[in-house]
Structure 1
Amino acid sequence: MDLLSTLAGFLVGTIVGLTGVGGGSLMSPLLILLFGIAPATAVGTDLWFAAITKIVGGTVHHRQNNADWTIVKRLCWGSLPAVALTLWWLSSHGHKAESGGMIVRVLGVTLVISALLTPFRRRLALRFARAEGARTDAFLRWQPVLTAAAGALLGTLITLTSVGAGALGATLLLMLYPFRLNAKRLVGTDILHAVPVALIGGIGHAVIGNINLPLLGALLLGSIPGVILGAKLTDRLPERVVTPALAVVLLIVGLRLLK
């Protein structure tokens, strides 16, 4: 199991470094479906996996200047309070939510939405970018508030399911900042915002008791070299190849969880 866990960590880490997507979107379902881990423990373990993996990947992207720190701060205005509120709710209702299958259902729905949005991120961004005149001025005025609201949505989903920082986060950022973020800065910004969210969420889940430390160690053994490799490959593999393949995988996994 340790070898399989390490291999899974390497593959997911590579995808995270390459696209900014795939951490929670792939790791939590793998832990639930392949390793038979309880959903709440899978989420808590995956949040620590995501935090440590994305610290490494984020460091690489930061050194390559692939991040917009102003946007990261705006997202954190909404996401960090949302993480705290979601952890408080889980500490009171977590067992009920898990026994009723709510975590798995929310995870499955989030994956399906992520899969459907992923191939159309650029088209959605272009549609939002076509606004002119007064609409553009109003959008720019509300942009910080809308970014914080997007952060609140992501913080809630990440803490509850460990999914949202990648596919959904990238889609929201493209709609909010269609011209400001190119592909590399989109990935870097998305990854760096996910670090404090996953870290705080992971600490909260650890306090609640939702973490499997031996499994986490095996996953990280593969993910750290994987995320470094993926970050280095960002300029070499075309997005038109990686994105559709990832969308198909997310859709299959999401539907499998909803069965």
Structure 2
Amino acid sequence: MDVGSFGFTIAGLVVGFIVGMTGVGGGSLMTPILLWFGINPATAVGTDLLYAAITKGGGIWVHARNKNIDWKITGLLSLGSVPAAALTLWFLSTLHTDTTALNAIIKQGLAIVLILTALAILFKSRLQAFASRHAGDHYHLSDRSLNTLTVITGVVLGIMVTLTSIGAGALGTVALFLLYPFLATRRLVGTEIAHAVPLTLVAGIGHAGMGNMDWSLLGYLLLGSLPGIYLGSHLTGRISDRVLRPCLATMLLLIGYKLAF
């Protein structure tokens, strides 16, 4: 294993460790790291999408076994996100011969979604408190309106995730909590993972079909991330969220700002 490959494995280990410890989606960390290593933006996004699908794939089995997945919500989200992912992939394919334009769009998309993700992490507790406080009054939606908003949420997530590989974790979880404030946290997390896997798999396969994939890079990332997630999960709760979340949010804000400007 050469120095570059070892660096990718270490990156996977660090990201996996943070994901295991905090539960924050790896895409918001992995894609910027790959850009820092000099990986082409389109390749970084495509590789990270399949990386996310594989690393979260095991989570579906665990959460399904523990009955932590609301399949109706997962279906409604997928009804919006999968077609949106397909349309976004088609749009990106029209730019595939113009790599400069393609990479510029992906970088700007990354900047916006990273900043939104940082804000979602930073204000998560306040958003949750708002949703809980207003869950039983005028904030309550009819079943039809709720189903429609869930599909629309899926469309937005489908576009963001396919374009940037980021958004299914932090943003998806916050959106679900606002829409379903009575949903238990464990079911919210399980439902988000159950939706993220098919979305990232479809988007990742689409990017691979356009050549935006480095299979050896994917292997090195998985080599580090799988033990990293295992180790990080054993340290969950050891470090206060009051310390972790502001630090993580600040880092993502700085990365987003740098990509935008």
Q: TM-score, normalised by structure 2?
A: 0.88
- The separation in 1 between residues aligned to 2:237 and 2:69, in whole angstroms, is 15
Letter in 2 for 1:40: A
1:132 deviation in Å?
A: 6.8
State the match for 2:42 in structure 1.
Answer: 40
Report if the CA contact (8 A) 1:57-1:228 is conserved: no
1:111 deviation in Å?
A: 0.3
Letter in 1 for 2:82: L
1:204-231 CA-partner distances (Å, limit 9, x unpaired): 1111100011111100111122234445
The answer on 1:30 being equivalent to 2:29 is no
Structure 2 residue corresponding to 1:180, chosen from 174, 180, 183:
183
Letter in 2 for 1:256: K
- The separation in 1 between residues aligned to 2:139 and 2:69, in whole angstroms, is 24
Report if the CA contact (8 A) 1:40-1:98 is conserved: no
Distance change >3 Å, CA 30–CA 74, structure 1 → 2: same
- The separation in 2 between residues aligned to 1:227 and 1:192, in whole angstroms, is 18
Distance change >3 Å, CA 135–CA 127, structure 1 → 2: same
Structure 2 residue corresponding to 1:128, chosen from 115, 118, 131:
131
Letter in 2 for 1:111: L
State the match for 2:220 in structure 1.
Answer: 218
- The separation in 1 between residues aligned to 2:76 and 2:241, in whole angstroms, is 26
State the match for 1:12 in structure 2.
Answer: 15
Letter in 2 for 1:170: T
Distance change >3 Å, CA 159–CA 98, structure 1 → 2: farther
1:122 deviation in Å?
A: 2.7
Please say which of residues 50-59 and 230-239 is displaced more in the overlay: 230-239
- The separation in 2 between residues aligned to 1:257 and 1:189, in whole angstroms, is 31
- The separation in 1 between residues aligned to 2:88 and 2:47, in whole angstroms, is 16
Report if the CA contact (8 A) 1:14-1:227 is conserved: yes
1:190 deviation in Å?
A: 1.9
Structure 2 residue corresponding to 1:142, chosen from 131, 141, 145:
145
Letter in 2 for 1:120: F
- The separation in 2 between residues aligned to 1:193 and 1:238, in whole angstroms, is 28
State the match for 1:242 in structure 2.
Answer: 244
1:255 deviation in Å?
A: 1.6
Please say which of residues 10-19 and 39-48 is displaced more in the overlay: 10-19
Q: CA RMSD in A?
A: 2.3
The answer on 1:197 being equivalent to 2:222 is no
- The separation in 2 between residues aligned to 1:104 and 1:199, in whole angstroms, is 21
Structure 1 residue corresponding to 2:6, chosen from 3, 10, 23:
3
- The separation in 2 between residues aligned to 1:126 and 1:147, in whole angstroms, is 20
Point out 4+ residue stretches in structure 1 off by more than 6 angstroms: none
- Structure 2 residue runs of 5 or longer lacking an equivalent are none
Distance change >3 Å, CA 97–CA 130, structure 1 → 2: farther
1:235 deviation in Å?
A: 6.1
- The separation in 2 between residues aligned to 1:175 and 1:231, in whole angstroms, is 26
1:174 deviation in Å?
A: 1.5
Distance change >3 Å, CA 64–CA 134, structure 1 → 2: closer
- 3-state SS in 2 of match to 1:209: coil
Equivalences, count? 257
Distance change >3 Å, CA 73–CA 239, structure 1 → 2: farther
Structure 1 residue corresponding to 2:86, chosen from 69, 73, 84:
84
State the match for 1:208 in structure 2.
Answer: 210
State the match for 2:58 in structure 1.
Answer: 56
